[in-house]
Amino acid sequence: MPPLLSELKSGALTLSLNRPARANAFNFEMTTALQTALTDAEKDSQVRCVVLTGNGKVFSAGQDITEMKQNAGDVSYAGHLEKTYNPLILKIREMGKPVIAAVNGACAGAAFGIALACDLRIAHTSAYFVVGFSGIALAPDSGVSLFLPKYIGLARAQEYFYTNKPIPARLGYEWGLVNKVGGFNYQRMTRQVAEELARGPREAFAAGKKAFNAAILPNLAESLTREGILQEGLGRSDDHQGAVRAFLEKRKPEFD
């Protein structure tokens, strides 16, 4: 089964994360496939807009914890981020084409960062967002530490990081985190927005995105590096190791 599905229609390329049996959690194969697909989409003149979604009922649970656990003794968390999520986040922001996160269900952890990096977020009414990292005793990565406070404010971002409470799609819409919410019309709404953007002025869109990045996200690369440094230490902590064991055993972690 390919880790990523793609469909090009009316100038809009839909990329679907395709590990539904694993809640579309990212492993190295899927991360690499998405990096390649975005690079190819940037070069393809037929692609004028990209839609990123999940196959099935979940957008993505974030990093596949099982994969990390299998290589626990050998993994540098900073090195892992430098090869996987940091290039993805930067690619999405640097693409001169609009990127839409079509959030069809649960969206957590690194996947939340990827959705936040997209230009627009269109969510199904049943969708929700979870910061996720504190549940396994880690600091945020994938740009969450930068994006989330910018969208919902520092106090709310810290609250939802500390508590791991879900942010329902409609609440995200009220806070400006989500651009549109749909139920039975969710797919049609997403398609209409994507096709409208695909018909737009390509060069102006690219220039506008550069301007927004320079004004609002000038320290994105620095923030991604800092997240990696923080995770490097936490990745070997007793709290994190115990929390991962609890996650895999489907029980609540206990911290000293």
Tens of pLDDT along 115-134?
999 999 999 999 999 999 99
Q: Using one digit for the tens of pLDDT, what is the confidence trace for 146-168?
A: 999 999 999 999 999 999 999 99
C-alpha distances (whole Å) from 7 to each of 12, 46, 114, 206, 254 are: 8, 12, 20, 22, 44
Domain that residue 96 falls in: 4-184
Q: Using one digit for the tens of pLDDT, what is the confidence trace for 193-206?
A: 999 999 999 999 99
Rounded to an integer, what distance in angstroms lies between the CA atom of residue 190 and that of residue 10? 13
Residue 222, domain member (yes or no):
no
CATH at 8: 3.90.226.10
Number of domains in the chain: 1
C-alpha distances (whole Å) from 23 to each of 26, 170, 256 are: 9, 22, 30
Query: How much is the pLDDT for 250?
Result: 86
Q: How confident is the model at residue 71 (pLDDT cuts 50, 70, 90)?
A: low
Residue 169, domain member (yes or no):
yes
CA atoms within 13 A on the CB side of 201: 6
Q: Using one digit for the tens of pLDDT, what is the confidence trace for 232-246?
A: 989 888 999 888 888
Residue 210, domain member (yes or no):
no
Rounded to an integer, what distance in angstroms lies between the CA atom of residue 117 and that of residue 110? 11
Residue 254, domain member (yes or no):
no
Flag whether pLDDT at 247 surpasses 90: no
Residue 256, domain member (yes or no):
no
Residue 157, domain member (yes or no):
yes
25-34 mean pLDDT: 97
Residue 180, domain member (yes or no):
yes
